[in-house]
């Protein structure tokens, strides 16, 4: 009866070398795929914040605002509710809230109780505001203008949704990782929010 000698050291080293070669070939492709997944995931997280702000504006009866800060690669979301005090129950959006109409729906994050309680700052990790060099059409309708280089096409870098669910002004933000380009657009008259991707010649 023949004895099973098992795997020799040479055979084991050969297998390890083959695995190493395959890994070295596959790793760059894997990194590219992972970058694309992370970018897409973050773009849709921002899109979710747009959706939530619009829904909250309609639910709470006041503007919800997103202020974009391209230089710091972040944006701030808050309710422009004008609530200077949450009243005796210390709960926001209840009937005893004390509202200053000068602060309400003014598009500014005022240093008051109600607005600071709803404020949230979002820092982008995988995407940055900006444009790839070949982008020459405005998202997502493919208008014949080059978007702003800083990647924000809203007046004063501010998007405001009213209690009717419409936007105070339309526009887009442009997000990239240096390889792929996405945009999130808002139609002023309807408040419709759309995500699109740059194909190299068109937004789709």
Sheet with 128-129: strands ordered across: 128-129, 171-176, 181-186, 193-197
Q: Which two tokens stand for residue 102?
A: 């000068």
The residues, any chain, with a CB within 8 Å of residue 102's CB and separated by 6 or more, are 82
Beta-sheet pairing, 74-79 with 64-69: antiparallel
Name the burial class of residue 153, with classes exposed (0-12), middle (13-18) and buried (19+) by CB atoms within 10 angstroms of its CB.
Answer: buried
How much of the chain exceeds pLDDT 70, in percent? 89
| pLDDT value, residue 150 | 97
Alpha-carbon torsion 175, 132, 153, 115, what sign?
Answer: positive
Mean pLDDT of 145-174: 97
Q: Where are the alpha helices (DSSP H) in 61-120?
A: 113-118
Exposure letters 165-184 (e unless 16+ CB within 10 A, then b): ebbbebbbbbbbbeebbbbb
Comparing CA positions, the residue from 138, 191, 186, 183 lying closest to residue 164 is 191
- Residue bearing tokens 């949704």: 161
Cα–Cα distance for residue pair 132/157, rounded to 1 Å: 19
Task: List 174's β-bridge partners, or say none.
Answer: 183
Lookup: tokens for 199: 């194909």
Q: What percent of the chain has pLDDT over 90?
A: 82
Topology of domain 9-72+118-197, CATH: minor pseudopilin epsh fold (3.55.40)
Tens digits of residue pLDDT in 68-120: 999 999 999 999 999 999 999 999 999 999 999 999 999 999 999 999 999 99
pLDDT of residue 14: 72
If you ran DSSP here, which 8-state letter would residue 73 be given?
A: T
pLDDT digits (tens, 9 = 90+) for 175-204: 999 999 999 999 999 999 999 999 999 999
Reference 119, options 55, 58, 197, 49; nearest CA is 49
Strand partners, 183: 174, 196
């Amino acid at each position: 009866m023949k004895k099973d000698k098992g795997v020799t050291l040479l055979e084991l080293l050969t297998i390890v070398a083959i695995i190493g070669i395959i890994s070295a070939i596959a790793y760059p492709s894997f990194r590219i795929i992972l970058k694309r997944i992370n970018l897409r995931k973050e773009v849709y997280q921002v899109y979710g914040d747009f959706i939530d702000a619009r829904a909250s504006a309609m639910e709470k009866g006041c503007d919800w605002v997103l202020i974009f800060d391209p230089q710091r690669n972040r944006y701030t979301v808050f309710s422009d509710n004008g609530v200077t005090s949450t009243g005796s129950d210390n709960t926001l959006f209840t009937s005893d809230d004390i509202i200053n109409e000068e602060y309400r729906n003014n598009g500014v994050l005022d240093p008051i109780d109600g607005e600071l309680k709803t404020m949230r700052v979002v820092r982008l990790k995988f995407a940055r505001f900006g444009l790839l060099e070949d982008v020459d059409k405005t998202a997502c309708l493919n208008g014949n203008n080059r978007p702003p280089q800083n990647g924000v096409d809203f007046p004063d870098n501010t998007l405001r949704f009213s209690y009717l669910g419409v936007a105070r002004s339309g526009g887009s933000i442009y997000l990239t990782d240096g390889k792929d380009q996405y945009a999130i657009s808002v139609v002023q008259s309807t408040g419709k929010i759309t995500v699109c991707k740059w194909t190299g010649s068109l937004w789709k």
